[in-house]
Structure 1
Amino acid sequence: MLNVINALNNGQLICFPTETVYALSCNANDASAIDKIYKIKKRNKNKPLSVFVANIEQLKEIAIIKESYLAPIKYFSPGPITFILPLKENSRLPKEFFQGTIGVRIPNHPIALKILNEFKNIMVATSVNISGEKSVSKACDIPSDIKKEASIIIDDDKLVMGVGSTIVDLTTDEISVLRRGKITEENVKTVFDKYEKHNRA
């Protein structure tokens, strides 16, 4: 694992499995590494990248969380769900890539969590694919252009579901599901409603 942490600290890109799909990742504080991800994926820079954090405490360091949203976020985390939240102005993340809002997920995969816990920092994490193409759920399907640029590829398909994370917008009082994944829209709204009613009681 030391080689993975060194790669991240040295501005390199890594690929590893999550419970959804394989992730292409780098240090979220390294603007040049993030730029590499945009180039390798041929991704429009108007489309923001999400980040992985190890725990709720790290999430609170970069995002503003409405008090009533905290319990349901904890309920679903770690897990296959990305929360769009207002970004703290003092987050220290590169402003050319992160402004206004940020997508954050705590992945529920032993390899992803081990990297996050040992790195002790926030990581950009996006699906391993060329923009517009299918995400990768098997290491053998990682596109050759990405393989050439990634310093480390961790090959372990066992727990990869092959379904992207559910994306939930929490930037307003009205919760909206922007993308359906393993966690259904109905499940999301049921849990958030339950905690909302509990707070009012």
Structure 2
Amino acid sequence: MLRDEINKAFEVLKSGGVILYPTDTIWGLGCDATNAEAVEKLLKIKNRPAEKSLIVLLDIDSKLQSYVNEVPEIAYDLIEYAENPLTIIFSGAKNLAPNVINADGSVGIRIVKHDFCTPLLQRFRKPIVSTSANLSGEPSPKFFDDIHPEILEAVDLVVDFEQENRSVKKPSTIMKLSPSGQFEFIRK
């Protein structure tokens, strides 16, 4: 049942663990974005260099100010009117694990609308890391069945929700937004 899966994921996140979970885009690896040890564990599972950036999920745009020094007004319009999942790279990240923040002080954040992620984020009340559930350098898994067995074995919880989903999902659009409101697309 969905509520049980959310409760299990909540407990794992709270204890500093790593979950494998469905998102509004592709399957992701996640952990508490404010816990540096949890992020380190996630990076080890993925075999990913620490300098590669991570995306953080939030359930509602009003929480952006807790993790970004200056949120340009246009960000709220971009989030509201985006037709597809949108990750925005903001400068001036704060209150996140140092290994989630990019070397230039920025962080990519996506406000997620999803049957599993949204209630989990509401319950956890902290941002969650979301990075594709693949080993670094390998292609991102389109479906649950494409996830490498090494990842399935290494995580603390494999969420039992949407594993049979065969609708084609793709990674989010990524745009970089400066405090002045200027933006550029990084990935469309």
State whether TM-score is above 0.5: yes
Change (3 A) 1:83 1:153: same
| Alignment pair present for 1:115 and 2:115 | no
1:21 and 1:163 in contact (8 A); partners too: yes
- Give the superposed CA RMSD: 1.9
Shift of 1:92: 2.1
- Identify, as 1 or 2, the structure richer in helix: 1
Q: Aligned residues, how many? A: 177
- SS of 2:19's equivalent? strand
| Alignment pair present for 1:71 and 2:74 | no
Change (3 A) 1:69 1:3: closer
Find 1:93's aligned residue among 83, 96, 100. 96
The CA distance in 2 between the partners of 1:71 and 1:173, in whole Å, is: 11
Shift of 1:70: 2.5
Unaligned runs of 5+ in 2: 1-5
Partner of 1:3: 8
2:100 and 2:107 in contact (8 A); partners too: no
Letter matched to residue 162 of structure 1: K
The CA distance in 2 between the partners of 1:144 and 1:152, in whole Å, is: 13
TM-score, with structure 2 as normaliser: 0.85
Unaligned runs of 5+ in 1: 181-201
Letter matched to residue 182 of structure 2: E
Deviates more, 1:142-151 or 1:68-77: 68-77
Deviations 1:45-82 (A, max 9, x none): 111211000101112211221123322223228x5110
**Who wins on radius of gyration, i.e. which is larger?**
1
Shift of 1:159: 7.2
Partner of 2:176: 169
Runs of 4+ in structure 1 off by over 6 angstroms are: none
- SS of 1:103's equivalent? strand
- SS of 2:31's equivalent? strand
The CA distance in 2 between the partners of 1:21 and 1:106, in whole Å, is: 15
